[in-house]
Amino acid sequence: MKVPHLLLVEGDPTQFASLIEAVRSLGLRTGWLDLDGASSPIPETLDVAAGLGVLRAVSVGAGRSVAVKPLRGAPVLKDLLREHFQGCALVLLRGEAEAPALRIEDQAWIVTPPGSASRRYTVTDLAAALRKPHPWV
């Protein structure tokens, strides 16, 4: 399985709309993972089912689906990527993890890998870099 590139982000997903569109225009997929988002409201029936120990509780309608999977212990990033983001070239990750950070300054998209120098991209160049196995090296 090909593992998606991870970029740590802060802020709202709308800030990354032009990047998501640039990635999509190349025929690639982007995912969003919020490691701090489990506290947001979920449908009560899904919450009850998850509390009873089902493998997964899913609700579908209005052009989207919501899935709740009970976790035993702390989430494992590798497992989350495998289960939820198969086929994605990029996952924008909000939370704590060992991954390159992405920030936007004016029109520049700046990627800073842990322990390495920052690299500046246009949104188009950043999307294109995702085709490489190690774009931040």
Query: Where in the sequence is the domain holding 65, given as residue range(s)?
Result: 38-70
Q: How far apart are CA 86 and CA 101, in angstroms?
A: 21
Q: Place 38 in a pLDDT band, splitting at 50, 70 and 90.
A: low
Same domain, 60 and 16: no
Same domain, 80 and 31: yes
Same domain, 31 and 43: no
Amino acid at 37: G
Global pTM value:
0.89
Mean pLDDT, range 35-49, rounded to an integer: 82
* Phi–psi pair at 58, nearest 5 degrees: -130, 140
Q: Which of 79, 60, 57, 52 is nearest to 68 (CA)?
A: 57
> Dihedral sign, CA of 59, 42, 84, 72?
negative
* pLDDT at res. 93: 96
CA distances for 13 relative to 10, 33, 69, angstroms: 9, 10, 23
Burial of 4 (0-12, 13-18, 19+ CB in 10 A): buried
Cβ pair 43, 59 in contact under 8 A: yes
Same domain, 80 and 100: yes
Amino acid at 85: F
* pLDDT at res. 40: 66
* pLDDT at res. 36: 76
Q: How far apart are CA 6 and CA 60, in angstroms?
A: 27
Q: Place 43 in a pLDDT band, splitting at 50, 70 and 90.
A: confident
Number of separate domains in the chain: 2
Judged by DSSP in three states, 2 sits in: coil
Same domain, 130 and 86: yes
Same domain, 48 and 8: no
What is the number of other CB atoms lying within 10 angstroms of the CB of residue 49? 18
